[in-house]
Amino acid sequence: MDKIVVIGGRRLEGQVTISGAKNAVLPIMAACLLAHGRFRIKRVPELRDVRTMSHLLRIIGARVDQEGHELRIDTTNCSFFEAPYELVKTMRASIYVLGPLVARYGYARVSLPGGCAWGPRPVDLHIKGLQKLGAEIGLERGYIVARAKKLKGTTITLDIPSVGATGNILMAAALAEGTTVIENAAREPEIASLAEFLNGMGAQIEGIGTDRLVIRGVQELQPADFETIPDRIEAGTFLVAGAITQGDVTVRQVVPDHLRSVLAKLTDAGAEVFEGPDWVRVKCDRRVKAVDVTTAVYPGFPTDMQAQWMALMCIAEGTSVIVDTIFADRFTHVAELRRLGADIRMDGNSAHVVGVPKLQGAPVMSTDLRASASLILAGLVAEGRTDVSRVYHIDRGYERIEEKLKGLGAEIWREQEPWPEAVVGVMPPDES
């Protein structure tokens, strides 16, 4: 296992180019299963999750090759319509193959995703939506087994504007007979991007970017090429890095409109924000002020930025309240931030953060993707050395984060993590 070591105290300055969006490219890769042939997807980040989805598509029978930031997928010989538990348990987004497989091949056997670091994440809305389209779905020994002769369009009103459920239903509806309307659909840019990709394959989707999607089913879809949208969460993370170090950071090749809620909060916190057509700059020459945040579905403040915002608030002037309304348990980073000297009190899904003037570097442990980012951000400003272990979490969603931060002036590197036995001597045989 690797760890990332940060020596705090450097102001970050300069420009960083943002990678393609993980949460956009994962459903797009699954959508390729809806048609036979060759696809070329550009601006694909080199991430663990992309490699996991590539592996899943290969299990299904597709050819997948990634050269740098270009992904080539050939779905001509797909023949095994299953997503095994061993793989799904490592990446919840594997569930995205369910809709395409049942729509294109009439059969899918996909493992239930199980929990994640911060609690249960059900897929009931995915299942209910596909059942409304006519799929027969049963749960057999931990697997979702879905069958359908031909899906039929209908109106589906989501209880929650779930990103994943919207994506799965959207992909299935593209090949259903007749028209499907998805009410209370997720409006995240990653779903809009999926819809654009599907339309490029010959689907007929209207209402893109709104909470009401109208999909006229077609007989067949064709392969298409596409370019992934920029990762708004990676961009937000680097802008917070600029603010927390009282630096001056510009993120390039982004869509400023995808960052509105984060930019508004950075401005409220006292940072100067400048923007152009495809870049945003954050300049901060003083300690930020405490600013409350409540996460919400897009275009509200993203839950995927909650942990990073908390790191910033740990050293803010004043007390802030951070509420996560999307994932009530997404606070595994709190205990680790406290190890760095943060003053945080939890009350249900609300964190009360009393800003402190200084954090002290210490060894901390990543528990999930965005928690890892939060700990690295805190390490950038903590006094002395911070060792963030289990960084395989961060490699899921950030492409070469330590190199990009080093390019902005951070003193940061990756090193091998000694295995526990090596640290505490030889473990007694019964505990080996």
14 Rama sector, left if φ>0, alpha if ψ -120 to 50, beta otherwise:
left
User: Which residues fall within 8 angstroms of residue 426, CB to CB, at 6 or more apart?
Assistant: none
- Nearest Cα neighbor of 337 from 306, 300, 296 is 306
In the complex, the smallest distance separating the C-beta of residue 354 from ligand EPZ, rounded to whole angstroms, is 26
Active-site residue 284, yes or no? no
Q: Is the separation of the CB atoms in 5 and 415 below 8 Å?
A: yes
Residue 355 touching ligand EPZ (CB under 6 A): no
Nearer to ligand EPZ, 15 or 303 (CB): 303
- Nearest Cα neighbor of 107 from 126, 130, 132, 82 is 82
In the complex, the smallest distance separating the C-beta of residue 21 from ligand EPZ, rounded to whole angstroms, is 9
Q: Which of the residues 247 through 286 are near ligand EPZ (CB under 6 A)?
A: none
Helix axis angle, 98-105 to 124-132, nearest 10°: 20
Residue 397 touching ligand EPZ (CB under 6 A): yes
In the complex, the smallest distance separating the C-beta of residue 366 from ligand EPZ, rounded to whole angstroms, is 13
Nearer to ligand EPZ, 124 or 272 (CB): 124
Task: Return the number of other C-beta atoms located less than 10 Å from residue 416's C-beta.
Answer: 8
Assigned token pair, 235: 């961009």
Residue 93 touching ligand EPZ (CB under 6 A): yes
Strands in 228-306 per DSSP E:
248-252, 272-275, 279-283, 293-294
Provide the CB-side half-sphere exposure for 302 (13 A, CA).
Answer: 24
Residue 370 touching ligand EPZ (CB under 6 A): yes
Residue 145 touching ligand EPZ (CB under 6 A): no
In the complex, the smallest distance separating the C-beta of residue 246 from ligand EPZ, rounded to whole angstroms, is 27
Nearer to ligand EPZ, 163 or 337 (CB): 163
189-218 mask for ligand EPZ (x: CB under 6 A)? -x----------------------------
153-192 mask for ligand EPZ (x: CB under 6 A)? -------x-xxxx------------------------x--
Nearer to ligand EPZ, 270 or 300 (CB): 300
The active-site residue, picked from 78, 116, 284, 314, is 116
Number of H helices, E strands in the chain: 14, 24
Phi, psi (degrees; rounded to nearest 5) at 430: -75, -5
Size of the site for ligand EPZ (CB under 6 A): 24
In the complex, the smallest distance separating the C-beta of residue 31 from ligand EPZ, rounded to whole angstroms, is 13
Task: Return the number of other C-beta atoms located less than 10 Å from residue 427's C-beta.
Answer: 11
List the alpha helices (DSSP H) in 292-332. Answer: 306-314
Please, is 333 exposed, middle or buried when counting C-beta atoms within 10 Å of its C-beta (0-12, 13-18, 19+)? buried
Classify each residue of 343-366 as buried b or exposed e, where b means 16 or more C-beta atoms within 10 Å of its C-beta: ebeeeebbbebebeeebebbebbb
Residue 23 touching ligand EPZ (CB under 6 A): yes
> Among 18, 50, 71, 369, which residue sits at the site for ligand EPZ (rule: CB under 6 A)?
369
> Among 40, 51, 121, 287, which residue sits at the site for ligand EPZ (rule: CB under 6 A)?
121
In the complex, the smallest distance separating the C-beta of residue 285 from ligand EPZ, rounded to whole angstroms, is 31
Nearer to ligand EPZ, 288 or 376 (CB): 376
| Rounded Cα gap, residues 278 and 383, in angstroms | 34
Q: Which of the residues 54 through 83 are near ligand EPZ (CB under 6 A)?
A: none
> Among 109, 126, 187, 232, which residue sits at the site for ligand EPZ (rule: CB under 6 A)?
126
Nearer to ligand EPZ, 162 or 389 (CB): 162
Residue 20 touching ligand EPZ (CB under 6 A): no
In the complex, the smallest distance separating the C-beta of residue 191 from ligand EPZ, rounded to whole angstroms, is 9
- Nearest Cα neighbor of 226 from 188, 253, 190, 193 is 193
- Nearest Cα neighbor of 130 from 144, 151, 157 is 151
Which span (6-14, 21-29, 280-288, 354-362) binds ligand EPZ, by CB under 6 A?
A: 21-29
User: Which residues fall within 8 angstroms of residue 257, CB to CB, at 6 or more apart?
Assistant: none
Q: Which of the residues 307 through 326 are near ligand EPZ (CB under 6 A)?
A: 326
**What residues are annotated to the active site?**
116
Binding site for ligand EPZ (CB under 6 A): 22-23, 26, 92-93, 121-126, 160, 162-165, 190, 303-304, 326-327, 369-370, 397
